[in-house]
Structure 1
Amino acid sequence: MYTLQLVDTHVHWDRLPEKEWEGIVDRARRAGVVKAVAVGTDAASCTTLLRAKKRFPDFLDISLGYHPEQAVRWDEVETVLRQIREHRDLLAGVGEVGLPWYSLSEEKRSDPSDPDHKGALERLMRTAVELDLPVLLHAVHDRAEEMFRILQAHGVRKAVFHWLKAPEKTVDKIAGAGYLISVTPEVCYRSRDRELAKRVPVSQILLETDAPWRYRGPFRNRSAEPAWVRRTAEALSQIKRVSFLQVSEQTTANAARLFGWPK
């Protein structure tokens, strides 16, 4: 088992200032974070992640994808698909991919997903299944149930719902099917996320920061970085009433299971 070795399973590394990369890695390691998984959002970000992977091969794992909270540009999607195939041996997964919600009007949020977004997602998921890569998902609120159905229809076995916000019934379906759910520093202060953490077994929880996202509460006015998963793990240990060591071991083992890392 792992001992005090934490993993940040979702970070937008390309949005962190390159001049600060060395310091970010150093602070993460001093906090007990042994690895971070960086997600791609378009062709340019994927290119940056491929370069960063060469610079921090032991600390940084990468996942290439096309973020759904943007218009579908098919030439970009095709480029990302090509990057995934060309660099398969360097990848931990396919993502960030999913279905839009935040970028939609309130009226559109209850409508079925538009054909372009759904089509792009399905292309990316078929590629992930073909290449035996897990999928890192953006699917919140009304989109989580739809995403669950799409995963089942395409036979996707390995997936994580990043920073999930969804009705309890949908959360139970996701967990019941064996998919993983990641929690952020919001479990340190937000009741919604703390209730989610209570509901999901530790055996299906991952830790993430979504860095450089700017949180509220005790993190106000600062940009997140991978070292913060230690605070998230400490909060999770209080919520689940298990030791910090147990949270560290289990969440890291969960990440190893999802990404196929050696134990």
Structure 2
Amino acid sequence: MVVVFPLSPAAQSSPYVANRALAPLFFSLTPDILYKQRTRDLVLTYPLEKMMVETDGPWSFEGILKGKMTHPVMIHHSIREMSDLKRMSVDDVYRQIYENTCRFYRL
């Protein structure tokens, strides 16, 4: 079984706890990666093979997205940010996120 879930504060603070918890799981990142250090730290700490992206809407964001409502195009902003943080090409991040999505939905 594959499950997507937000990481608990305990898992966010301990790579050991999160890695054990994440063995069969994925977690999903929202556009708050653009302005929340905690979300950015998750990308730096955990493997891209465990990540998916979403817009988590309808939702009004903060930071550089303040006052903007969720829109599907925002996943592209998240993926570009993931690319920068992981020091990977945008194409490679898109490819891995696509593979993760196919695995999750068993496509």
Superposed pair shares fold, TM > 0.5: yes
Query: Matched residues in 1 for 2:52 and 2:9: separation?
Result: 17
- Of the candidates 164, 189, 199, which is equivalent to residue 7 of structure 2? 164
Q: TM-score, normalised by structure 2?
A: 0.88
CA distances 1:128-171 after superposition (whole Å, capped 9, x unpaired): xxxxxxxxxxxxxxxxxxxxxxxxxxxxx21111x434322432
Letter in 2 for 1:170: V
Shift in Å, 1:248: 0.4
> Residues 164 and 225 from structure 1, CA distance in 2 versus in 1: closer, same or farther, beyond 3 angstroms?
farther
- Partner of residue 174, structure 1: 21
Q: How many residues are aligned here?
A: 103
Identity %: 26
- Partner of residue 38, structure 2: 192
Cα RMSD (Å): 1.3
Identify unmatched segments of 5+ residues in structure 2: none
Letter in 2 for 1:159: V
Q: SS in structure 1 opposite 2:7?
A: coil
Q: SS in structure 1 opposite 2:102?
A: helix
Shift in Å, 1:260: 1.2
Alignment of 1:200-215 (within 5 A): 200-215=46-61
Q: SS in structure 1 opposite 2:58?
A: coil
CA distances 1:75-126 after superposition (whole Å, capped 9, x unpaired): xxxxxxxxxxxxxxxxxxxxxxxxxxxxxxxxxxxxxxxxxxxxxxxxxxxx
Letter in 2 for 1:160: V
Stretches of 4+ moved more than 4 A in 1? none
Higher Cα radius of gyration: 1
More strand by share: 1
More helix by share: 2
Letter in 1 for 2:4: V
